[in-house]
Amino acid sequence: MTVEILPDAHGAGPSMHLWPEPEAASDLGVRRACRIERCGPGPRRDPVTLWYSLPDLGGEAPAEPDEAFLIAGLIQAMAEGRDLVLHGAASAELLGNLAEFRDAWHRWQPDGYATIDISAERVTPRGAPRSFGAGVATSYSGGIDSTATIWRHASGLAGHGARRITHAVFAHGFDIPLSDVAAFEAGCDRARPLLEALGIALVPVRTNFREALPYYWEMAYGVALASCFHQLGPSCGEALVASSRTFDVLFFPMGSNAMTDGFLSSATLRIVEDGAGRNRCEKVAELAGWPAGLAVLRVCWQGSRRDRNCGECEKCVRTMHNFLAVGLPIPPCFDRAPTLAQVRAVKLSSRSLVEEWDQLAATAEENGIRAPWVNVARRKVVRWRVRSAVREAARQVARATLPTGVRRFVGRTVFA
């Protein structure tokens, strides 16, 4: 295979350097890591090691085993305005895709994500001969989106788009903290037989991504998941990202989205967005055909026990109402029914939550459900949108009439 050697990528500007370490043994099988160093202007941070631990899936070594680190560091480097340099090999296909990803995010939010340079010391030319993994990966967290993706493809509901999923990544260090080993192992113990019954191998992956690259998780979780998928090479040639947003309510940027997830593909692993044609209520209706999957749903990340649902947090309350909105009973993974007081206590703190509750109310209304919670949810959505419109109008007036310094002060104190 011909490999192009690039000139040394060190420069005087701010940069983030990824130094891959030799693969080592771990409690799960293998440990892959890289040292992250920041150079040039900007806030100084001590070097940190990013690592992944997972079972050894066997097979031949991938041509570019360090590409996952380039994907992992992308959002953090863009947010810090640092050129991203991999001291290892990457395919021209991945580098080209990441450039497109970068440009899209910069267009969406130019003040938040810089058009950094993305490079590798060695670049494998586009179209170089390769062997492609026959497996298809996805993630499994126990949530609605990942469970629905697995069931759609296993049951044939995906039609001509159906794949035979062979591997499901269960990540430790995302919603379950690394310190909570018991919850992660309990989650694996429940998920393993469920997936094995469908011919899918559970792949536990431990990673310190959130500690090593501590950027806003809602924006970074897409590259975090993709970096885990890339650890499965060369066993898998395709990976399905379970969509959390439907095509009609997309807004940008968002950590995982149907517009740019595909740009996290390399020459040997194709990332595919799955399920953006159905909202969570529609996914719940499909999951009624898989009682075993419903019995072990785990959507909660705020409860004291991370391997089960608390039944009290906003996400638990919202998910239970996904079932009520389509006329289904609350599944046994929840030990209580939601109350009207819980809906009244919900705080719509983001546009994302507003869209979720709007969808719930609309679905219930379409299905002829007139329960009191529907009216409460609808009023919350309307009030949030009215307040949002007023704030945006005030911002527009401020931009047009106030000096920059005064405008920033008003923005911090009034519009926050």
Tokens 């499909």, residue located: 286
Overall fold of domain 135-274: Rossmann fold (3.40.50)
Q: Are 75 and 215 in contact (CB under 8 A)?
A: yes
pLDDT tens for the chain, residues 1 to 416: 444 444 444 457 999 999 999 999 999 999 999 999 999 998 878 999 999 999 999 877 777 999 999 999 999 999 999 999 999 999 999 999 999 999 999 999 999 999 999 999 999 999 998 878 899 999 999 999 999 999 999 999 999 999 999 999 999 999 999 999 999 999 999 999 999 999 999 999 999 999 999 999 999 999 999 999 999 988 999 999 999 989 988 889 999 999 999 999 999 999 999 999 999 999 999 999 999 999 999 999 888 888 899 999 999 999 999 999 999 999 999 999 999 999 999 999 888 899 999 999 999 999 999 999 999 999 999 999 999 999 888 878 877 786 766 655 555 555 45
SS3 346: coil
Domain ranges of the chain: 4-124, 135-274, 300-416
Q: Could you tell me the two tokens for 143?
A: 């949530």
Q: Could you tell me the two tokens for 339?
A: 């109350």
Distance CA 298, CA 380 (A): 26
Residue type, 196: E
Residues 6+ apart with CB under 8 A from 6: 119, 120, 121, 122, 123
Among 213, 250, 168, smallest CA distance to 51 is for 213
Mapping DSSP onto H, E and C, the string for 80-94 reads HCCEEEEEEEEEHHH
Distance CA 26, CA 28 (A): 5
> Beta strand 24-25 with 30-39: parallel, antiparallel or unpaired?
antiparallel
Q: Are 47 and 35 in contact (CB under 8 A)?
A: yes
Residues 6+ apart with CB under 8 A from 141: 170, 171, 174, 175, 298
